[in-house]
Every structure is written in C-alpha cells, then in structure tokens.
Amino acid sequence: MSALVSDIGTGTAAAAANLVKVYGKGDTAVRALDGVSVAFQAGRFTAIMGPSGSGKSTLMHCLAGLDNVDDGTVHIGGTEITSLGDKELTKLRRDRVGFVFQAFNLLPTLSAEQNVLLGLELAGRKPDREWFDTIVDVLGLRDRLKHKPSELSGGQQQRVACARALVARPDVVFADEPTGNLDSRSGAEVLDFLRMSVRKLNQTVIMVTHDPVAASYADRVVLLADGRLAGEIQEPTADSVLSALKHLGA
Ligand SMILES: Nc1ncnc2c1ncn2[C@@H]1O[C@H](COP(=O)(O)OP(=O)(O)OP(=O)(O)O)[C@@H](O)[C@H]1O
C-alpha cells in the first residue's frame, strides 16, 4: 500500500494512487492516465488543469467512479471505490458525490426546487430543510424555486445545478467545466458560489477547467501533462496558472 493511501483519513476527501487508465488496445492504445497519485483535502477547492488531451476528464471520471480504472486505487472519503461492485458504486455516487456539468443537465419538466431535490427523493431520503434553505439563500435562488429551467438564465440554471450537487452534503463535488457555457459575469457568480461553498459551508470541490481565471478561484491547481502529474500551484492567480500552462506547452 502506498504512503498516499495509508494517509487517507478524516482530512482527505478523495485520492488516487498509482492510477492507470488505458483506452483501446494494441497499437492504438492510449495511456490517458499513467500512474497518477494525488490527494484532495477535505474543505478545499482544487482545480485540475493541463493541455488538451492531458487526462483531466479521465482523472475526474475515475475519481468520481464514472469510469473504471486499469490499475491503482481511488478513495472517496475512507472508501476504496475501485473495489466496489456496480450497485455499491451507484449508491456511493448517489449519496456521497455531487456533480456539476458544463451543460447543466437539469430536467426540463421539473421546477428548480424539484430538480434540486430529485436525487434525494429517488434515494428515499428526506431533505435537511435547514441546509436546503442555506444553499438556496447563498445561491440567491429563493424567488426562482418554482421556475422551470427554460424560465431561468444560464447562470441561474447552473446555480440550480450547484444546489442539486450540494443538497445531499456530499463528500466531494466534481465540477466539469462548470463555467464553459456561461458569460463571464454568470461564470464569476458560479465560481464565487463554489468558493463560498468551500469556505463557508465546508464543502469540497474538485473542478476541471481550461480557464486560468476560473482556476484562480481555487485554493490549489493540480497540473497534468501526458497522463501524469506535472506539478501544482497553491493559492493560484490567473497569471501564475497561465505561465505554468505555457511551460507545459498548453
Ligand atoms: N473514450 C475514449 N476512447 C479512446 N480514447 C480516449 C477516450 N477518452 C479519452 N481518450 C484519450 O485519452 C486522452 C486523455 O483524454 P481526456 O479527455 O481525459 O483529456 P482532457 O485533458 O480532459 O482533454 P480536453 O482538455 O481536450 O478535454 C486523450 O488522448 C484522449 O484522446
């Protein structure tokens, strides 16, 4: 067992150890992840960055249990998810992981409130009303709860998606290019919220982004290149991220 894995305790929300992911076989095989070991502390906002094709989405999908791995382990909280069966993995994703996608992925026929609460309902869990109210107020969604997604702006829809991701108080929220479809002002609001959910609500966020400005909202940037860890930046600024990416040839 590697040092990383044995270090997993209350302070680590998610971790990968010696992660290998290969797409395809033989001559056309691509080693999308080539021995990645990285830990994500609870209560921190981390951005994953790197050149196109460096393995960012693959790492996020493997960390979130959306994709299987060829070697190595992934832990969410204290649970090694790489050894779970499909049923247990589905339950873990439902109960302990939140997702925010670039395309919002809200159900068009449901109101904002119904979209936020759907996951809990499907799991047969009662919402914690106080927590729900806190999230809704922090996100400024109170007067939009009865609206359908088509009656909301892109920024509002993404805020609903953030509320949906957080309502079950997951161990980790994974955000995949959450501002990719938003104008810069709506994007800044969503990033502000993600940062606030970490600082004030003690949540853990791991975000994949191409945007150095978006990454500057994080506490830490993890850099990938060619499926390997290529460095990290604490307390990043848009400039420090940009120059690190240039260094990697992005
Ligand atoms: N389903 C797949 N089948 C085959 N190859 C894949 C598949 N998914 C990803 N790859 C390859 O794995 C490598 C890593 O891809 P990945 O999407 O993780 O990179 P990324 O850093 O997220 O890229 P981008 O910034 O362009 O979204 C790339 O070479 C990609 O072509």
Measured distance CA(128)–CA(116) in Å, rounded: 12
- pLDDT (tens digit, 9 = 90+) per residue, 174-198? 999 999 989 999 999 999 999 999 9
For the chain, the structural domain boundaries read 43-65+86-247
Residue from 28, 30, 206 to probe ligand 1 pocket by mutation (most atoms less than 8 Å from CB): 30
Given the CA of residue 58, which atom of ligand 1 is nearest to it?
18
Does 209 score more than 90 pLDDT?
yes
- The mean pLDDT of 147-166, rounded to a whole number, is 94
Which CATH fold topology does 43-65+86-247 show? Rossmann fold (3.40.50)
Does 129 score more than 90 pLDDT?
yes
Give the closest residue (by CA) to ligand 1 atom 6. 23
The pLDDT mean for the chain works out to 92
Residue from 27, 58, 101 to probe ligand 1 pocket by mutation (most atoms less than 8 Å from CB): 58
Cα 118 to ligand 1 centroid, rounded to whole Å? 31
Q: How confident is the model at residue 17 (pLDDT cuts 50, 70, 90)?
A: very high
pTM of the model: 0.92
Cα 57 to ligand 1 centroid, rounded to whole Å? 7
Given the CA of residue 59, which atom of ligand 1 is nearest to it?
18
Sheet architecture: strand order including 172-176: 97-101, 172-176, 205-208, 45-49, 220-225, 228-234
Show Cβ contacts of residue 87 under 8 Å, excluding neighbours closer than 6 positions: none
Q: What is the 3-state secondary structure (H, E, C) of 108-162?
A: CCCCHHHHHHHHHHHCCCCCCHHHHHHHHHHCCCHHHCCCCHHHCCHHHHHHHHH
Does 9 score more than 80 pLDDT?
no
Cα 194 to ligand 1 centroid, rounded to whole Å? 25
Give the closest residue (by CA) to ligand 1 atom 7. 23
Cα 117 to ligand 1 centroid, rounded to whole Å? 32
Q: How confident is the model at residue 219 (pLDDT cuts 50, 70, 90)?
A: very high
ipTM metric:
0.97
Show Cβ contacts of residue 17 under 8 Å, excluding neighbours closer than 6 positions: 2, 4, 5, 37, 72, 73, 74, 75
